[in-house]
Structure 1
Amino acid sequence: MTSIMTNTAAMSALQTLRSIDANMEQTQNRVSTGYRVDSAADNAAYWSIATTMRSDNSALSTVQDALGLGAAKTDTAYTGLESAVEVVTEIKSKLVAAREPGVDKDKINKELSELKNQLQSISESASFSGENWLYNTSSAAPATKEIVASFNRATDGSVSVTTLAFDTGESVLIDTYDASRGLLTGDRPTDVDVGGTTQTINYYLLDAGSTTAATGTAIELSTTTTDDDLDGMISATDGILQQLTDSASTLGAITSRIDMQTEFVATLMDVIEKGVGRLVDADMNEESTRLKALQTQQQLGIQSLSIANTNAENILTLFKQ
């Protein structure tokens, strides 16, 4: 039945055209944004996963910055310790040289004074971002420093932060409040053979004017310094050198760990970004092909609607005289 009140063909063509327009709008959105899942309405599950993982990646980026800052601090402290080891090694060599008969101990002591000044300079200069792990002026004991190392998400969805810890009490060279807390300012008990009898004598290398000063014997030379005293100073200096070496080794290990963690975090961020992309990114080759097909369908739909409307108009010819 042909009716001028209800154009069934036009209604069908219009419905098809609306469907094509909706599909085209979706495809154009994917092409313009580059995402197959751009909002929760597209795919709630994938959108939720992608949003969470993007947030975690942002946190990992902050961790990466924190690792960079931590690496700078440890590198600064390690460089200072490494330089201190070289200077203390030189002091040890000067003390051994002073053991030779006929050597002018006063002149060697002047060299020792300059080397001590260099140690003071190294300790005070090894500072980064307001932190110095080699020089302490506070009444409080040197603290344990923590470096943010990773951001973790457990299977139950809970999150946590992992840190790397270093006790700066192991690296402080000079403590201006309590000399005993500094590797160079504190007393170091040393067994010394004095006239065939072993005695324990405390030696310290630097006098930094600490509020609580060292009570032992300073490692310095004069014309009255005996061979027994020199042997004790050499032994004490060697002990200090061993402590410096151990501290530098610990810092070196932490530096290596930071480098490995930095590389891992960077790789992990790339993997997460790739995984999110697989969930929500649009296949641009597929979408461009689909867009071309929909454009063709749209043209055909418009033409079908035009034909349907034209058929209804043809009824007028039946009433012409």
Structure 2
Amino acid sequence: MALNSVNTNSGALVALQNLQNTNAELATVQSRINTGKKVNSAKDNGAIWAIAQGQRSEISAMNAVKDSLDRGSSAIDVGLAAGESVSDLLVQLKEKALAATDKSLSTASRKALNEDFKAIRDQITTVVNNASFNGVNMIKDATTSAAFKALSNTSGTTIDVKAQNLALGGANVTVTAAMTIGTSTLATTALAAVNASIDNVSSALARLGTGAKSLDTHRAFVGKLSDALENGVGNLVDADLAKESARLQSLQTKQQLGVQALSIANQSTSILLGLFR
């Protein structure tokens, strides 16, 4: 037989414990709905939070990788555009040099051709000098080791795209800054240099284009990888809001019933007053 006492109300204690548990669950559900996350801090689930935090750092680092690849692609695209202009100018130089090999040209005509040749020749230097993006010029550096080193992953490994020297008198453009076509002999020499330069520049641009394609391909991969990591973190920590909403309704009903149960349990001791009447 249960003890009737005004000092200890077992029913009220049980009702209070159940109500406190319901309130705790309700607070958890409300937090998930407010933040959209089932694991919002290490207190919620230390192991999952640590894993998610590590992946967040990877995602953040991936942004730096994408920025580096973007800079590399932009620098190479500028170099390719300028390189194509250099190739077009060399085609024009070939026309002038070939015309100047004609020994029957008048002095005035040869002089006009020579002036055109020199103007186009000097324009190559202008194009090469202005082919910079963010301080990087992929067609001017004469060193054999010059390259754009774009980050390929978060550990610092790089994808190297070698620069191509398209400056006058360089490895690919054998036309020099002082070359002229003032005589048929000079024109013949210039024509040979221009022909070799056209072939060399085409090969150099092909190599540069291959490098640009490799950066674009890797940039697409990094974007997909970053998206996959974000989805993975979401799977770990995001709350199912439809499920939590349904649970919220259930807990709110349970909370109201708990309050009523506690009220009933608290009233049980007042029944003892009837025994003293």
Q: What is the TM-score normalised by the length of structure 2?
A: 0.91
Partner of 1:194: none
Which of 249, 254, 269 is the equivalent residue of 1:292? Answer: 249
User: What runs of 5+ residues in structure 1 fail to find an aligned partner?
Assistant: 153-159, 189-203, 208-217
Matched, 1:118 2:89: no
Out of 138, 152, 173, which is 2:167 matched to? 173
Q: Which runs of 5+ in 2 are unaligned?
A: none
Query: Per-residue deviation at 1:40?
Result: 2.0
Once residues 67 and 256 of structure 1 are traced to their aligned partners in structure 2, the CA distance between those partners, rounded to angstroms, is 11
Whether 2:265 is the aligned partner of 1:265: answer no
| Pair 1:161 & 2:161 matched | no
> Contact 2:12/2:266 (CA < 8 Å) preserved in 1?
yes
Instruction: Please state whether the residue corresponding to 1:278 is helix, strand or coil.
Output: helix
The aligned residue for residue 44 of structure 1 is 46
Normalising to structure 1: TM-score of the pair?
0.79
Contact 1:144–1:165 under 8 Å retained in 2: no
Tell me the CA shift for residue 148 of structure 1.
2.4
In the alignment, is the contact (CA less than 8 A) between 1:142 and 1:172 conserved in 2?
no
1:142: Cα distance to partner?
6.3
Give the secondary structure class of the aligned counterpart of 1:115: helix
C-alpha separation in 1, matches of 2:161 and 2:264: 82
Provide the rounded CA distance (Å) in 1 between the counterparts of 2:60 and 2:215: 19
RMSD: 1.9
Partner deviation per Cα, 1:91-132 (whole Å, 9 max, x = no partner): 112111222342232221111011012112111211111222
Residue aligning to 2:203: 246
Counterpart residue number, 1:63 = 65
Q: How does 1:67-216 map to 2 (within 5 A)?
A: 67-103=69-105, 104-136=109-141, 141=143, 143-152=145-154, 160-168=155-163, 170-174=164-168, 181=170, 183-184=172-173, 188=174, 204-207=175-178
Judge conservation of contact 2:139–2:166 (CA < 8 Å) in 1: yes
Task: Write 1 or 2 for the structure with the bigger share of helix.
Answer: 2
**Equivalent residue of 2:152, what SS?**
strand
Which whole-Å CA distance do the structure 1 matches of 2:255 and 2:152 have between them? 52
Distance 1:100 1:172, change over 3 A: closer
- 1:231, distance to aligned residue in structure 2 (A): 3.5
In structure 2, what is the Cα distance between the partners aligned to 1:114 and 1:230?
Answer: 15
Q: Distance in 1 between matches of 2:69 and 2:156?
A: 13
> SS state of the match for residue 205, structure 1?
coil
1:314 is paired with a residue of what secondary structure?
helix
The reply on whether 1:221 has 2:181 as its aligned counterpart is yes
Q: Write the letter of the residue equivalent to 2:29.
A: T
- Partners of 2:119 and 2:190 lie apart in 1 by 17
Q: Do the aligned residues in 1 keep the contact of 2:138 with 2:147 (CA within 8 Å)?
A: no
Contact 1:149 1:261 (8 Å CA) reproduced: no
Indicate the structure whose relative CO is greater, using CA pairs within 8 Å and at least 6 residues apart. 2
Q: When the two structures are aligned, how many residues end up with a matched partner?
A: 272
Q: Using the alignment, how far apart are the partners of 1:146 and 1:122 within structure 2? A: 20
SS in 1 for 2:153: strand
Question: In proportion to residue count, which structure has more strand?
Answer: 1
Deviations 1:45-68 (A, max 9, x none): 221211111110111111111111
Q: Distance in 2 between matches of 1:121 and 1:305?
A: 88
Name the counterpart of 1:23. Answer: 25
Matched to 2:153, the amino acid is F
Contact 1:4 1:312 (C-alpha < 8 Å) held by counterparts: yes
Residue from 304, 308, 319 that aligns with 2:261: 304
In structure 2, C-alpha distance between the alignment counterparts of 1:142 and 1:129, rounded to whole Å: 21
2:55 is the alignment partner of 1:53: yes
Match of 1:278 in 2: 235
Q: Indicate the percent of aligned positions where both proteins have the same amino acid.
A: 32
